Structure 1
Amino acid sequence: MENIISDATRRNWDRLSASTDGKLTSRANKQKSLKKIIPVEYLLDTAKIKLIEKICESYIGYSIPEIIYSIAVILLQSEGICERQSVQDILLDFQKENSIDLIQIDEAIPRFSHNEDFLGALYQSLLSEGDKNKNGSYYTPRKIVNDMLSEFDLREGQCFLDPCCGSGAFLMGVSTKDPSSLFGIEKDPIAVFIAKLNLILLYKDIDFIPQILCGDFLQDEVFFGKKSSFDYIATNPPWGNKTKIVSNLIDSKESFVHFFVKSYNLLKNRGKINFLFPESILNVKSHKVIREFIILNQDLNEIHQYSSSFTGVVTNFISMKFIKGIKTSVIKVRNKNEEFYVEYTAFQHTENKVFSLLKPQEEKIIEKVLSKSAYSLSSSEWALGIVTGNNKEKLKSSDGPNLEKIYTGKEIDKFRLREAKNYIHYDRDSFQQVARDEIYRAKEKLVYKFVSNKLMFAYDDTSSLFLNSANILIPNVPGMSTKTVLAFLNSSLYQFLYEKLFGELKVLKGNLMELPFPKIDSETNNTLTMLVEEIISEGKNNQKDIDEIIYNVYGL
């Protein structure tokens, strides 16, 4: 990631307390943040970025509408279309709605470029991070827009819709000779104003009124008169928008899910739709409903995994392209490094219909493992570690009267526990949350880190206590000892299964319960148990032997 981001992005991330993997390192509430962040990936010209920085610093005393309006007038005058009646009507309406006057802009404003949205970048830079986060309004870089629209070429009579168009990046990117075939909807009146002017500037030789409405796509029912269907739809919908959603379209609390389903319903048969989604749509449990919608229609034909983020967005993202009504059995998956095809059957392997993007050889391995599945961990016992309510007060760094060792997730290695660093008085009534005593005091149990991208299970036969950074499992798999189950969970094959089936960065109980376990003979059970015992008691490196046995069990 460090090789992808620009210096300007790095400076922005420093102000945000973000790390170079794009994750926020502070827990500050972004919705209350007053910071201003320049979307450097949205505007690639360094000189224009510096100009925007200067404007943001120089016109603090003026409102955002005043700044945007005044610079818009300069751009229109530069192209000689400011006096056009249709343009004057748009300017006058915006001026009246915001009770603003033209202000003096001292900086030299560059002429309009069809490759860059200067006004949109300026507007994003003037907004606070809190406002952008609350509304989910992060504009899409031109490179991603162009990629998503690469197959959108409007023929005569065809039309395009962006249902949350922002300042018009997708509308500007569509290939068409007729701007009246472009339709946009946007809640933010300032963004609507910018989008209209962007189209007017882009198609300056045509006198037309942009078909862009200021409205709520999810709540409003009528938009463009008799216009009720579209040939092409593409957008970057708001993610994590906290606005309450009132809709009967689909049972989801996520705004981007509702945007997609309503847009899909407006698409003509054989029409194309391309949406930008957070990558979590592929595997997070709460998004199961949209995955089921996609599986039911079976007309998703391409997923593009993007390898870099853009300013203000710390999640990974993908685009999904559909051709309505054209059922497919395979989906093309492409990313920076490769292109391959995934069968729809790969989406049926888990309870939550996780979109496992399995390459053909990976799918064969999964199917072979599942074909030998006889048991699971669903009848096992599970528990959380202790929640003290006040670790600082209740955890001690040295032993003392009435204290005993307590382990945290940090002390969990594969197969074995490291030495405990904390001690605690086991007063159950004083804890905020605690499991049954017999769970902690079990003769043998497994413990694992749940905040981990690796399966990492350790064995405990000392009836020890654990904090809530560790979870507890007392397995019940017929024909397998606790140590044999441990061997399977720590094997290379099961790491592969977990990654490919669930795609999670956390080790979740619900996913672990779905892992398949085979029926094995007593000799295999005894051998695996012995190998694990040697690791625990003698520190032997038996991982390779364990992996080989487990591969052989599945005929791999």
Structure 2
Amino acid sequence: MRNVGQQALFDDQNSECVSIEDSAKILGVSGATVRNWIKTGYLKVTSKGQVSRDSVENFKNNISGVEKLNQRANKSKKDTHNHESVAVEFLKKAKSESESLESIGECYESSLSDSYRNKEGIYYTPNDIVNDLLSLKNELTGNETFCDPCCGSGNFLVRALDAGFKPENIFGFDVDHVAVEIAKRRIHEKTGYKSENIKCSDFLQLSISKMAGNYDYIFTNPPWGKKIEKTEKELISKMLKAGSSLDTCSLFYFSCINSLNQGGTLGLLLPESFFNVATYEDARVSALSFQIERLSHYGKPFKGLVTGAVGIVLRKQNCNLQSAIDCTYEKKVFKRNGISFHKNPKSIFNISCTADDAEVIEHIYSIPHITLSGRARWGLGIVTGNNTKYVESSFREGLIPVYKGSDITKNGLKPASIYIPKDFSLYQQVAPISLYEAREKLIYKFISSNLCFFHDADSRFVINSANILITEESFPVPMKTICGLFNSDFMNWVFRKIFNTHKVLRGDLELLPIHDQFLSGNNFVESEYLASINIERTSCGTFRIKR
């Protein structure tokens, strides 16, 4: 049965066209995806902002979910479940004392589709991470309050009981009725206390309305990338004074800080991107204003997610940037101080760095340098929108060779192995042709944890696993020299130690230091460059300041 919104859209028989926004609702995708489908010719434009109703109907009935493009872009339709009916079923089980809590929780969690988890940002915290993150150094007096704003089925709440918090002083919030009921039962079965402090409520909404309460300890795993309308996120961000950090992880960070008593302790499990991606800078700057106690990297604990998980524990009191922070990365434990993060570009928390590594990073940024920021043009490789339809493995008339990210190596460029039609109007996204046809340019591998560049002087075209960079004419370092610098072992080491990502992002490249006073001519010699900036390679393949 169609919902009311869709019914209203389809029942207007007098209209032969439909708006882009309504088309998105009909097809269950974003407006941006609809615009991409217009570019690729799947949907027909009738007038500004309007699409032919026939083309929408044809797409929905005959194309959607068939071609690779639509399967990827419309993935929210795949692997779905009727959450209302699932919730009703498990709510009955959760309230029935004859049902095993453990089996209910496991079955409920496994019943949630990947698309629902993605939409709601739900990733349940493994017990070993809960136990490690919520490990208190100080003895409790017995009257401290504890809160998990996104409590789910109660793993942090149960851990708080084990840590010594009284059940009547434990509070929890979640928007999932089933999870809340399971959490309440777990507390009751463990302590005999029937808590009314575990509530089915949206902590973000409570926070902006000043009704979330205040607590001595807050530990939680907030929703990662929960899908919220942009206007709503911007409003919440404004109310919480969260700056430009609009992801739900950032919004929950600020709401938790606002609800934490002075001197209280906050523990959050967050995606690795929170600590090294530019869009979270405002949240990181805020965290550095408090006393950070621990940072722990937990690898990649969530199935289907390529991002790692990092725990942060801080105390709400004025920071001492010289105080030691306990860091754990790949089971190695070392200490850093807040100033070493504060001095990083964009206040990045590069917790894979030891104190010695951080000293090298600080040293090279202290030497006068320039960057690519504002001094280069950038372009994405061609996005066909449907590789199966347009990409061919052998050359024929009418096709042009294109190069993939995997074709780019530090030793040169592999021969082209794929070809596409030269009619660029066919494709979903194409950079200005002048970028591809430039007299010289740098092309680089996009999906990679390492820098891999090639200096192109033959106007080659690249597909979207490779990107383009062209410096402005007045830039003092030749592009061929920049290619050598960025391919060097040292700059790759710097890139990994600061950003530690699996993508080479423009924003990160724009932050790398280029010591132009030591870079002249078209040949880059790494040993000479290292000597100029007073850095030497160690026997174990890392780098240090020459003493």
The bucket for the TM-score relative to the shorter chain is 0.7 to 0.9
For the 8 Å contact 2:187–2:194, the answer to whether it is kept is no
Partner of 1:199: 187
Cα distance, 1:135 vs structure 2: 2.8
> Residue 345 in 1 paired to residue 339 in 2?
yes
Distance in structure 1 (CA, Å) of the matches to 2:330 and 2:268 = 18
Cα distance, 1:382 vs structure 2: 2.9
Partner of 1:469: 465
Distance in structure 1 (CA, Å) of the matches to 2:320 and 2:498 = 22
Deviations 1:224-243 (A, max 9, x none): 99x94222111122222224
Partner of 2:120: 135
Label 1:465 to 1:242 Cα distance change in 2 as closer, same or farther (>3 A). Answer: closer
Cα distance, 1:388 vs structure 2: 4.7
Deviations 1:273-315 (A, max 9, x none): 11111111111232222112213x2322211111351456553
Partner of 2:251: 258
Return the match for 1:156 from 117, 142, 157: 142
Match for 1:74: what amino acid?
A: S
Cα distance, 1:401 vs structure 2: 4.7
Secondary structure class of the residue paired with 1:167: coil
Partner of 1:284: 277
For the 8 Å contact 2:217–2:260, the answer to whether it is kept is yes
Label 1:488 to 1:64 Cα distance change in 2 as closer, same or farther (>3 A). Answer: same
Secondary structure class of the residue paired with 1:340: strand
Label 1:493 to 1:241 Cα distance change in 2 as closer, same or farther (>3 A). Answer: same
Deviations 1:168-213 (A, max 9, x none): 2212112226321212222222222222221111113xx5544222
Cα distance, 1:443 vs structure 2: 3.3
Distance in structure 1 (CA, Å) of the matches to 2:420 and 2:405 = 16
- The structure with more radius of gyration: 1
Distance in structure 2 (CA, Å) of the matches to 1:120 and 1:430 = 49
The ranges of structure 1 where at least 4 consecutive aligned residues each deviate by more than 6 angstroms after the TM superposition are 25-28, 222-225
Instruction: Please provide the CA RMSD for this pair.
Output: 3.4
Partner of 2:108: 123
For the 8 Å contact 2:401–2:416, the answer to whether it is kept is yes
Match for 1:362: what amino acid?
A: D
Secondary structure class of the residue paired with 2:203: coil
Label 1:27 to 1:317 Cα distance change in 2 as closer, same or farther (>3 A). Answer: farther
> Residue 242 in 1 paired to residue 227 in 2?
yes
Label 1:457 to 1:201 Cα distance change in 2 as closer, same or farther (>3 A). Answer: same
Deviations 1:341-360 (A, max 9, x none): 22323334555332222322
> Residue 74 in 1 paired to residue 53 in 2?
no
Match for 1:315: what amino acid?
A: T
For the 8 Å contact 1:403–1:426, the answer to whether it is kept is yes
Distance in structure 1 (CA, Å) of the matches to 2:88 and 2:528 = 71
Secondary structure class of the residue paired with 1:321: strand
Give 5+ residue unaligned stretches, structure 2.
1-70, 536-547
Partner of 2:493: 496
Larger CA deviation: 177-186 vs 273-282: 177-186
Label 1:423 to 1:66 Cα distance change in 2 as closer, same or farther (>3 A). Answer: closer
> Residue 359 in 1 paired to residue 361 in 2?
no
Secondary structure class of the residue paired with 1:74: coil
Match for 1:509: what amino acid?
A: R
Larger CA deviation: 389-398 vs 356-365: 389-398
Larger CA deviation: 418-427 vs 496-505: 418-427
Distance in structure 2 (CA, Å) of the matches to 1:121 and 1:434 = 46
Partner of 2:158: 172
Cα distance, 1:159 vs structure 2: 1.6
Distance in structure 2 (CA, Å) of the matches to 1:520 and 1:486 = 16
Cα distance, 1:434 vs structure 2: 4.0
Return the match for 1:333 from 308, 317, 327: 327
Match for 1:298: what amino acid?
A: F
Deviations 1:57-97 (A, max 9, x none): xxx99922233333xx226xxxxxxxxxxxxxxxxxxxxxx
Q: Percent identity?
A: 32
For the 8 Å contact 2:221–2:269, the answer to whether it is kept is yes
Match for 1:304: what amino acid?
A: S
Label 1:66 to 1:157 Cα distance change in 2 as closer, same or farther (>3 A). Answer: closer
Distance in structure 2 (CA, Å) of the matches to 1:231 and 1:148 = 16
For the 8 Å contact 2:298–2:310, the answer to whether it is kept is yes
